[in-house]
Amino acid sequence: MPEVIFPGPAGRVEGRYAEPTRENAPIALILHAHPRAGGSMQDRVSVQMFQIFQRFGFAVLRFNFRGIGRSQGVFDNGMGELSDAASALDYLQSLNPNAEQCWVAGYSFGAWIGLQLLMRRPEIAGFIAVSPPANHYDLSFLAPCPSSGLVVYGTRDGVAPAADVERVVSKIRTQKNIKVDHTPVEGADHFYRDAADKSVDLLPQLEAKIVTYLEKRLAAPAPKKAG
């Protein structure tokens, strides 16, 4: 997948881009976890979501928020990072001006940014929010939620507790024909390892839930992994 550098509000932005498999294919923007907690476009959940959308034939972009990797700028507590995400979406759309759908997918802090972007960009048709930190950030702005999407969370997450995520999801108001699905990964901590046994990787379970949802929304099974 090619490395890309594109302009953002704080200077250059570093990303990775996967070209679509067909003309007018949908696009997806991937947003990583908290920059101050080790999050980057290379974190394993962000890479996994990138690869999932790539297998479905999307044009996919993941990038580093300001101050991470080769992206210029400094951490801005969310406001600047939302601007980064908007610029990244503009860039992705410039590469794919005739995309038939637009999706955003975020992990942890990136899920919070993605949900805010969703409220500002009416072209976003679907979203995936993995472990949104409902205990750290106010998500009441999802009123009403303008697009259907999926919220996934771990039941043993000490960073974004399941009870907080479930409380927020239960209060999301939706418009007609909009549905926000939510599903837990049993026993998973914030990093999708078994909270009781860190040697057990639960990332495949997270992947399965996202793939199942996309298959339902896109009415097409994902191609099998290579190898």
CA 160 to chain centre: 15
CATH number of the domain that residue 212 is part of: 3.40.50.1820
Residue 225 covered by a domain: no
For the chain, helix (H) and strand (E) counts, in that order, are: 5, 10
Structure tokens at 111: 């899920």
**Alpha-carbon Rg of the chain, whole angstroms?**
16
Show the CA angle centred on residue 134, arms to residues 129 and 136, nearest 5°: 125
- Total domains in the chain come to 1
The domain in which residue 113 lies consists of 3-218
Domain annotation covers residue 63:
yes
Going by their DSSP bridges, the two strands 197-201 and 193-194 should be labelled as antiparallel
Residue 223 lies in a domain: no
Q: How many CA atoms does the CB half-sphere of 25 hold within 13 Å?
A: 18
Q: What is the pLDDT of residues 156-198, one digit of tens each?
A: 999 999 999 999 998 887 888 899 999 999 999 999 999 999 9
Domain assignment present for residue 159? The answer is yes
Contact indicator for 41, 64 with CB cutoff of 8 Å: yes
Position 226 in a domain: no
Q: What pLDDT sits at residue 140?
A: 84
Tokens of 219: 């009415």
194 domain-assigned? yes
Q: Which residues of the chain have pLDDT under 70?
A: 1, 220-227
Six token digits for residue 105: 């997918």
Residue 224 within a domain: no
What predicted TM-score, i.e. pTM, was given to this entire model? 0.95
Q: 106 is written with which tokens?
A: 């975020």
Length of the chain: 227
In a domain, 212, yes or no: yes
Q: Give the pLDDT confidence score for residue 227 in this predicted structure.
A: 45
Residue 36 per-residue DSSP state: G
What sign for the dihedral angle of Cα 83, 74, 29, 201?
negative
Which pLDDT does position 171 carry in this prediction?
Answer: 85
